[in-house]
Amino acid sequence: MKAEITSMLPFTAEDFLSPTGERIVADRYLLKDVKKETLQPGSLVVAVIDKKRALHELAKVVELKPEQRLATVELRDGFQVELSYDHIDVLKETAPRQMWRRIAKGAAEVTKDPKKWEEKFYQLQSGWKYVPGGRINASMGTGIKTTSYNCFVIPNVGPTPRDYANSFGQTLEIQARSGGVGMNLSQVPPQGTLVPVSEKSRKAELQLVLDVWHADLLDFLAEDYKNSTKVVRVNSEFLRAVEEGSTWTFYFPDHEIEGYDDNWTGNLEAWREKGLPVKQGETHSAEELYAKILESGAVVVQDLIGVTLVPGDRRGTIANTLADMWEAMMEGKRVSVVLSSLRPRYSYVRGVNGRSSGAYTWGQLFDKGNQVFGQGFGPVGVGEIMSVGCQLTLQGGSRRGALMLILNDKHADIRKFISCKQVDGVITGANISVGVSEEFMEAKKHGEKWTLGYPDISEMQEFNGDFQEWEAAGRKLNISEEISAADMWDEMMESAWKSAEPGVVFMGRYNYMSNSHYFNKIVATNPCGEQGLPAYGICNLGAVVLSQFTMGFEDSGQKANFADKEKEAYIRQQLLKHFPEEQAEFFLHHIKWEELEVTTRTGLRFQDAIIDATYYPFEENRKNQMNERRVGLGIMGLHDLLIHCGVKYGSEESMQLIDVLMGMMAEWCYLESVELAKENGPFPVFAAEKFLQSGYMKQMAAEKPHVVEAIKKYGIRNVTTMTVAPTGTTGKQQLPPMPVTA
């Protein structure tokens, strides 16, 4: 008996995917019909099967009940479930090839010959030879204000609670538009500096309030807020329903109408008085609902007194409310935060192709904010706030936000930061790394002591987080501790062994190697760590699928022939530096070098076009990127290529082949960027002599001097051209349908 892998999407041989790849591309990348105008029996949809766990599955519509806005959908395994229209996304694109056409058209529109480059950009992606970064797949050509950049770094987090909230707001804005964020926490004063550390519970200092009409009420009652008091605000209408034994229906303003942001203040009565539409939620027995409220332990009130804050329903107002809460607490005041203004769980968020995590979930942010206030802030506390925000951001599909937190190696709290993740539940929504300086590595090498500290609190506004720069300028640190550099290094390694973090980012070495060393200092990396970036720095990604450029397995008997004999001789020469003649000849004709070059060069042009074609969440991002035009072309399928070549991954032989392979790709990328400079001019802040003094370009000069000569003569369009990023969800390559015998 034979069983075949079945697909729900109408694939062809050009764009076929495995079931896992099919689900991922449908959920995260294919364009959705947000208004559900095309919804009908037979429609392919992404169904939200479990709201709590954000579980999404590809399904087909079986039956519709338009009056109740309900749809019965069938999953791949035949299981059927009835869902609200609000919990299904209709696929407007139903195959990767449609996505490729949309992306190619969107990117080509900014070129001098859109028709020519649309076809080239389509062929670039066709057959999974090259895969754009996930954010390009999800955004390019859609008209939606999401970003095509995976990688962002915001300016260093400033020293005051208002600064923490402002950085938090920037992070939310970027993550809501599907970018990942990195930041440096080194300007944040040590724990207990701004606010004393408190040992007592702060539950009474913060009330989290939800109105009885809000659709998230039951989830709110079930949520465990460890650092605040849970309050349900009831009204006379609800109390009457309880007394009369009638039902109670949840409501919320229709957040999809034009003017919602301008009219919604969190007051449902005022909204209704304006005659504006509301969405009806579930209906329950009022008496049973009241019993659940009392059983939950929530305080029941009709009116609030004291400092009452309403966070609105926008990312900026949520961040401002967090700052207002902290400042009120610094004045010794108790605070009530009314969560009712925030839309219910899984409501669609217009303009950013995402969904709300829910009012009750945002309560976790203010609850954590109260906790870190009581713990005296510090980099770990501020990191916890950023981490919670990251977990609360639901981007397009089931994707969560991504975050990297970095603290430089001389900060007074660095040892607390190094070990923080050994405590369960601390900073669970972010990666953390230590920013390691050249000076620290020298101290470790020579068995020297290493001092930790922070400037005097009166000087914190003048400090930019660079301890070496501060001391070099003759400024003093308040030294908090002296430790052996080797012992501190061991602490980092032990913590990484115990909890998989922190990572280390060699910040001093990074800036020495960086092509932007002379005008844009690297301050942090993106969440996955592959891209060091300056303040407001961004980078788009794409990956050449190396496994598509071989003649199959080692014993296939197939050979790749060159059309260009000079190119063949040049690559042979590169291979002969590392391999004996017979082996060099095998690699020369088993890898499709010429096709790989075309794909690499076209990929570089494609990613450069994305710079001009995409939306920018912040003007500062746009200005910075237009100045340096940073792109990161990378790879996937390297292990497959090595297997095809009969080379063991990690062997000395593999290192030598990778050296040739990546050396050629780097050469092609930099030379293609030179070609772009000839056509459009170099990036605006290019200065040949300074650019060529970077550690990377010095290495290029030693290995490939003709590339450096071309840059000297014509300039270069992009400050960087390559980065090797992880490709987890975009790495679902073409798989042929394989019959399985049972």
The 3-state secondary structure of 401-421, one letter per residue: CCEEEEEECCECCHHHHHHHH
Amino acid at 279: K
Q: Residue 520: what are its φ and ψ, rounded to 5°?
A: -145, 100
Q: Across residues 609-637, what is the average pLDDT?
A: 95
**Which of 37-51, 456-470, 565-579, 644-658 shows the lowest mean pLDDT across its residues?**
37-51
Q: Is the pLDDT assigned to residue 3 strictly greater than 50?
A: no
Question: Where in the sequence of the chain do the CATH 2.30.30.140 domains occur?
Answer: 17-94
Q: Could you read off the pLDDT of 96-116 as tens digits, one per residue?
A: 999 999 999 999 999 999 999
Q: Contact at 8 Å (CB) between 439 and 468?
A: yes
Question: Where in the sequence of the chain do the CATH 3.20.70.20 domains occur?
Answer: 96-143+540-728, 155-197+375-535
Mean pLDDT for all residues in the chain: 92
pLDDT, residue 705, reads 97
Collect all residues with Cβ–Cβ distance below 8 Å to 134 and sequence separation of at least 6. 28, 29, 150, 178, 399, 729, 730
Q: Across residues 419-430, what is the average pLDDT?
A: 92
Rounded to whole angstroms, the Cα distance separating 120 from 602 reads 8
Q: 432-444 burial, b for 16+ CB within 10 Å, e for fewer?
A: bbbbbbebbbebb
CATH class of 96-143+540-728: alpha beta
pLDDT category at 400 given cuts 50, 70, 90 is low
Percent of the chain with pLDDT over 70: 95
Structure tokens at 329: 């607490």
pLDDT category at 47 given cuts 50, 70, 90 is very high
Q: Is the pLDDT assigned to residue 735 strictly greater than 80?
A: no
pLDDT, residue 347, reads 74
pLDDT, residue 179, reads 82
Rounded to whole angstroms, the Cα distance separating 532 from 536 reads 11
Q: Which residues pair with 699 in a beta bridge?
A: none
Q: In what helix (H) or strand (E) does residue 611 lie, and over which residues does it extend? A: helix 593-613
Q: Could you read off the pLDDT of 676-689 as tens digits, one per residue?
A: 999 999 999 999 99
pLDDT, residue 541, reads 95
**Which of 274-283, 333-342, 432-441, 509-518 shows the lowest mean pLDDT across its residues?**
274-283
What is the dihedral angle through the alpha carbons of 42, 45, 50, 55, rounded to the nearest 10 degrees? 130
pLDDT, residue 235, reads 95
Q: Is the pLDDT assigned to residue 395 strictly greater than 50?
A: no
Assess if CATH 3.40.140.10 describes domain 155-197+375-535: no
Q: Across residues 476-499, what is the average pLDDT?
A: 97
Q: Could you read off the pLDDT of 303-321 as tens digits, one per residue?
A: 999 899 999 988 899 999 9
**CA-CA distances (angstroms) from residue 442 to 409, 445, 504, 517, 646?**
13, 5, 15, 21, 41
Q: What CATH topology corresponds to 17-94?
A: SH3 type barrels. (2.30.30)
**Which of 118-132, 136-150, 283-297 shows the lowest mean pLDDT across its residues?**
136-150
651 secondary structure, DSSP code:
S
Alpha helices in 147-285, H assignment, sequence order:
161-176, 217-222, 236-244, 260-263, 268-273
pLDDT category at 477 given cuts 50, 70, 90 is very high
pLDDT, residue 734, reads 46
pLDDT category at 664 given cuts 50, 70, 90 is very high
304 secondary structure, DSSP code:
-
Q: In what helix (H) or strand (E) does residue 56 lie, and over which residues does it extend? A: strand 55-65
What is the dihedral angle through the alpha carbons of 671, 677, 680, 684, rounded to the nearest 10 degrees? 140
Q: In 223-364, where do the E strands start and end?
A: 229-233, 247-253, 278-285, 299-301, 307-309, 335-338, 348-349, 354-355
Q: Is the pLDDT assigned to residue 738 strictly greater than 80?
A: no
Q: Across residues 327-334, what is the average pLDDT?
A: 96
Structure tokens at 328: 């009120």
Nearest-5° Cα angle at 504, 498 to 505: 165
**CA-CA distances (angstroms) from residue 140 to 90, 107, 117?**
19, 7, 15
Collect all residues with Cβ–Cβ distance below 8 Å to 429 and sequence separation of at least 6. 386, 387, 388, 389, 390, 391, 400, 401, 403
Q: Across residues 419-446, what is the average pLDDT?
A: 95
Q: Higher pLDDT residue, 80 or 51?
A: 80
Q: Across residues 555-576, what is the average pLDDT?
A: 95
pLDDT, residue 309, reads 97
pLDDT, residue 247, reads 96
Q: Could you read off the pLDDT of 5-29 as tens digits, one per residue?
A: 589 999 999 999 999 899 999 998 9
106 exposed, middle or buried (CB, 10 Å; 0-12, 13-18, 19+)? buried
pLDDT category at 718 given cuts 50, 70, 90 is very high
pLDDT category at 35 given cuts 50, 70, 90 is confident
pTM of the entire predicted model: 0.90
**Which of 236-245, 331-340, 554-563 shows the lowest mean pLDDT across its residues?**
554-563
Structure tokens at 303: 């009116």
Beta-carbon neighbour count of residue 662 at 10 Å?
A: 14
Collect all residues with Cβ–Cβ distance below 8 Å to 675 and sequence separation of at least 6. none
Q: Could you read off the pLDDT of 227-278 as tens digits, one per residue?
A: 999 999 999 999 999 999 999 999 999 988 888 888 998 999 999 999 999 9
Rounded to whole angstroms, the Cα distance separating 471 from 437 reads 13
